């Protein structure tokens, strides 16, 4: 075997330099505000400004559209390192990729020229509108309609659980354009602008975690969308949406890894300082076994995410399995590691004086959004049964 056969598992010097840069920014300009952002349920504006100033807010945007052109692994490293200190802030680069990736994958050159440069500069954020009140895991059951009206489309309906809704300027929205085409076949993707007449937002959801990232409904009351804002061809929207998720589930895995790493880091520092029965609690074998298990499963999750990121970058045929597996495993690990971190701190871990309870609350959503972990297992099983 040649050295090239092992490239999949190697983090190169550029990636390590990127990690150092993002970690320095996160610790100095994001971490100091994380607890307040959570407590007040405020958008992390300081984090946004710092990420924009360093070109980390949307690192995936190609250089041809004024972006930095970070590869999939580099984007995951950015998200991971930000999530290590503030999960809410890590949703800035994650959701910018989620919202704009359908455009990158299937949009016309004109659309890319219009909407990607403002994203790259930080002048606009990009969100993703797929789920509805009665069409969450069952995306093909969506009821939002886009009815042709001359060269335009009239958009009616709503989308639920939309991350950074109200903050983002642009939204990729999926809607039924052909009610006769059959289940899932008559759905198209559009770009909706925040300023479009008839487009409004519901109240902010009151959530368990990621409180600094606004989650709201998108409401469409006869919103006129120019026909040239359709992404790709009519009827290809759902396929494009699912292709997007194959790639972006990897970023949720990266977020989960970052949250877990932050919790483990804090717990390690705590157990080395905390004294009971005349010695550090880190010296007790039961504590050491917990730490070992936390670190072991976390590293396994990290490697799964990095392998999936490499497959995302190459567009490998088995990405649907690996993307689902990385997201599912990493989020389950994050939930376990953060819960164990709270346990290691004992009663202190249950208070807001320390960050691990926030990390535990934040970790939970990684098992739910961009497809619940039950859905991820369905995706993996279908890939296996199909011989892929």
**Is 370 assigned a catalytic role?**
yes
In the predicted model, is pLDDT for residue 90 greater than 50?
yes
Could you give the count of Cα atoms lying within 13 Å of 126 in the half-sphere of its Cβ? 29
Domain ranges of the chain: 3-121, 126-237, 239-385
Note the pLDDT of residue 277: 96
Minimum mean pLDDT range among 19-23, 92-96, 137-141, 374-378: 137-141
Average pLDDT, the chain: 96
Report the distance separating Cα 310 and Cα 75, nearest Å: 11
Catalytic residue among 132, 217, 357, 370: 370
CATH topology classification for 3-121: Butyryl-Coa Dehydrogenase, subunit A; domain 1 (1.10.540)
User: How do residues 228-265 score in pLDDT, each as one tens digit?
Assistant: 999 999 999 999 999 999 999 999 999 999 999 999 99
CB 70 within 8 A of CB 9: no
Q: What's the CATH class of domain 126-237?
A: mainly beta
User: How do residues 266-311 score in pLDDT, each as one tens digit?
Assistant: 999 999 999 999 999 999 999 999 999 999 999 999 999 999 999 9
Give the right CATH number for 239-385 from 3.20.20.140, 1.20.140.10, 3.30.1330.10, 1.10.10.10: 1.20.140.10
What is the average per-residue pLDDT within 206-222?
A: 98
Note the pLDDT of residue 334: 99
> Which one has a higher pLDDT value, 12 or 342?
342
Note the pLDDT of residue 9: 57
Question: In Å, how far from its chain's centre is CA 43?
Answer: 16
Note the pLDDT of residue 11: 83
Percent over 70 (pLDDT), the chain? 97
Note the pLDDT of residue 6: 42
Which residues face 276 on adjacent strands? 279
* Helices of type H across the chain: 13-25, 31-40, 45-53, 72-83, 87-106, 109-121, 237-273, 285-314, 319-345, 356-365, 373-385
Note the pLDDT of residue 28: 98
In the predicted model, is pLDDT for residue 3 greater than 60?
no
Minimum mean pLDDT range among 1-5, 147-151, 308-312: 1-5
Concatenate the DSSP letters of all residues of 119-143 into one string.
HHHTS--EEEE--BTTBSS-GGG--
CB 142 within 8 A of CB 134: no
């Amino acid at each position: 075997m040649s050295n090239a056969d092992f490239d999949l598992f190697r983090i190169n010097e550029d990636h390590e330099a990127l990690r150092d840069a993002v970690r320095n920014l996160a610790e100095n300009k994001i971490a100091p505000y994380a607890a307040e952002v959570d407590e007040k349920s405020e958008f992390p504006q300081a984090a946004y400004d710092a990420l924009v100033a360093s070109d980390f807010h949307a690192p995936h945007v190609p250089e041809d559209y004024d972006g930095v052109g970070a590869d999939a692994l580099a984007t995951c490293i950015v998200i991971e390192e930000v999530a290590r200190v503030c999960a809410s802030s890590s949703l800035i680069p994650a959701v910018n990729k989620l919202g704009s990736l359908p455009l990158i994958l299937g949009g016309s050159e004109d659309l890319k020229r219009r909407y990607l440069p403002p994203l790259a500069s930080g002048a606009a954020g990009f969100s993703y509108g797929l789920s509805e009140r009665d069409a969450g895991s069952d995306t093909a059951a969506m009821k939002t309609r886009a009815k042709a009206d001359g060269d335009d489309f009239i958009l009616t309906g709503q989308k639920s659980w939309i991350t950074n809704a109200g903050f983002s300027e642009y939204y990729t929205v999926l809607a039924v354009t052909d009610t006769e085409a059959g289940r899932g076949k008559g759905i198209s993707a559009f770009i909706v602008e925040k300023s479009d007449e008839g487009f409004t937002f519901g109240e902010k959801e009151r959530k368990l975690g990621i409180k600094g990232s606004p989650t709201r409904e998108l409401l469409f009351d006869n919103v006129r969308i120019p026909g040239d804002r359709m992404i790709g061809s009519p009827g290809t929207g759902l396929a494009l949406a699912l292709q997007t998720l194959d790639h972006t589930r990897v970023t949720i895995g990266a977020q989960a890894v970052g949250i877990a790493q932050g919790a483990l880091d804090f717990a390690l520092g705590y157990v080395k300082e905390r004294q009971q029965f005349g010695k550090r609690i880190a010296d007790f074998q039961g504590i050491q076994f917990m730490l070992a298990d936390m670190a072991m499963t976390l590293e396994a999750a990290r490697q799964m995410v990095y392998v999936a990121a490499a497959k995302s970058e190459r567009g490998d045929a088995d990405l649907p399995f690996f993307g689902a597996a990385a997201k599912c495993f990493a989020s389950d690990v994050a939930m376990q590691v953060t819960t164990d971190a709270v346990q290691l701190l004992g009663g202190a871990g249950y208070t807001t004086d320390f960050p691990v309870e926030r990390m535990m609350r934040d970790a939970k959503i990684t098992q739910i959004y961009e497809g619940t972990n039950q859905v991820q297992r369905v995706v993996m099983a279908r890939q296996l049964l199909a011989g892929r």
